[in-house]
Every structure is written in C-alpha cells, then in structure tokens.
Structure 1
C-alpha cells in the first residue's frame, strides 16, 4: 500500500473530527443539538456496507433538504478518494435517513453532470467550503440526490 498524501491525511482527519464531534454533541444533548450546521440540515445516513453487508451510519450535512429531495455532497474534505458511505450507496442505493429521531427510507443516486452543474451554485452558496474541497482534488466530487422510497 502506498503512502497517503498529506492533503488526504488532513482531509480524512477533518472529516473524522466533524462526524464524531457531531455524533458526540447529539449524544450529550439527547439529540437536540445541532439540528443545523453551517446553515445545512444535519442528518444520519444509513447505508449497507458494500463488503460487510452490515448497516453503516454516517453523520452528514445536507445543503439542500426537503420532504421530496435531499442533496448531500461526497466531498470527504477534498480527499482524493470517495468516502465509504458514497461507495456503499453506489453499491446499494436503498438507504435510510434519520432526522430529529425519525428514520425514513430513501433511494440514492449520483447526480448527472447536468444535474450537478444546476445544483452546484446553490450548494456552494450555502457552503462555500465545497468549492475549496473540489479545488483540492482531481476527483469529481459526487453530488448525491436522495428521493423518498415507497412514495
């Protein structure tokens, strides 16, 4: 296995701190805080591990959030590799999302290039950090669109 680039190490550490810090705050406050972070809806995404077949949970923020559509960005802080949660939903697009203690079923898919170009200005207006993440990596950061399953 090759050595990880310093920028990837920093991106991985930052993503770990954000997710675990968010999870700790939710545990400490009984799920009451934070409901929004950096102007975005916070949520817990549940995927099925592509290798393990086990349920995996990840704390994320959604720059676009409504009852009919959730948009999340697989940025991993500008890391050169996709986050595991993205790889899992690419393998099995049936996911669940927990918000405010309520879990619902969704279907995930990567936005097409056209959809991403339409959504990206709104995404970076809400969180300009995504633009910096995209500049840090040669990877085309996926924008993921979730739509309600069974409706």
Structure 2
C-alpha cells in the first residue's frame, strides 16, 4: 500500500478529521463534480466514490450527497457505509434511503437508477468485514460510536426495453 494512502487512512481515523471533514469534503466534492459535469469527484482520488441523489424522507426534495463506496463485482452494485465520519448520529442520506429506497447515483459520470437495501445480520457482518479490509478507518469510526453503522447495498435497476 502506498505511503500516501496509509497516511490518509491514519488521518481520516482521527476525531479532528471527523469534526472538520463532514463540512469541507462534501462541499468540495459537490462543487468539483458540478463544474466537471460529473467527470471528477475529488474524494474518489483516494477511495471510490459516487454522488447519491436520494429523496428527502420528510421534504420529498432531491438530496445530492457525495459518498465513498465499495463497488462490488459485476459493476451493478455498490456498498455504502453510513459512518458519518465516526460521529454519533446516522447521516441524513441513510434516513432518506430507509424511507425511500429508490434513488439515483452518478458513478464515474454515468447517472444510474438504483434501489437500496439496508444490510442486516450475517449478510451485514460479511460485508462489514470486507469493508474494513477495503478501508480500515471504518473500524475506528465504529469504535467511536455506540450506534451500529448502517451498511447499504445499492443495486442498479433493470431497464425495460
């Protein structure tokens, strides 16, 4: 593993990062993503990322959120972790997906209709193990919070032809 990636993993596991990152990183990602018409997501330079457009659970309005993800084999599903950078509450986007699982992602410049499912039990445990191997700071995030970090699988919807 490259020295730079290890350093980023170490920094992203800190409480200081958790206090600052939720305000800075998504705003930067949204701005750059918009300016490049979906071609560039800054955070994806370190960790695969996508932009989730979910429907607000209460407002019914579209909510765009840049998120790290773990792509699964086959290119039709992704894992999203509701880590909230190791902060106490669940992130708003996870509430939105629980209320309205139909969403859209922008993955590498392509808009894709998806459906989300919250993983539970043995399925969640298996995916969580893979997630922590994929990006170790998630383990530090989980140790800092009492809640169980939500893990979602989002799957590309089939298009009718």
Give the match's secondary structure for 1:19.
helix
Q: 1:72-111 residue pairs with structure 2 within 5 A?
A: 72-111=80-119
1:29 CA drift (Å): 4.6
Match of residue 66, structure 2, among 59, 62, 67: 59
Are 2:161 and 1:144 equivalent residues in the alignment? Answer: no
1:13 CA drift (Å): 3.5
* Structure-2 separation of matches of 1:116 and 1:134: 14
Q: Answer yes or no: is the 8 Å Cα contact 1:89–1:108 preserved in 2.
A: yes
Q: Answer yes or no: is the 8 Å Cα contact 1:108–1:145 preserved in 2.
A: yes
Q: Answer yes or no: is the 8 Å Cα contact 1:64–1:123 preserved in 2.
A: no
Count of paired positions:
144
Q: Answer yes or no: is the 8 Å Cα contact 2:82–2:149 preserved in 1.
A: yes
Q: What is the alpha-carbon root mean square deviation over aligned residues? A: 2.4
Question: Normalising by structure 1, what TM-score?
Answer: 0.83
1:116 CA drift (Å): 1.6
Are 2:14 and 1:24 equivalent residues in the alignment? Answer: no
Unaligned stretches of 5+ in structure 1? Answer: 1-6
1:141 CA drift (Å): 0.1
1:84 CA drift (Å): 0.4
Question: Normalising by structure 2, what TM-score?
Answer: 0.78
Q: 1:25-44 residue pairs with structure 2 within 5 A?
A: 25-34=32-41, 36-38=44-46, 40-44=47-51
Higher helix share: 2
Q: Which string of whole-angstrom CA distances, capped at 9 and with x for unpartnered residues, describes residues 91-129 of structure 1?
A: 000011112332111110111121121112221122111
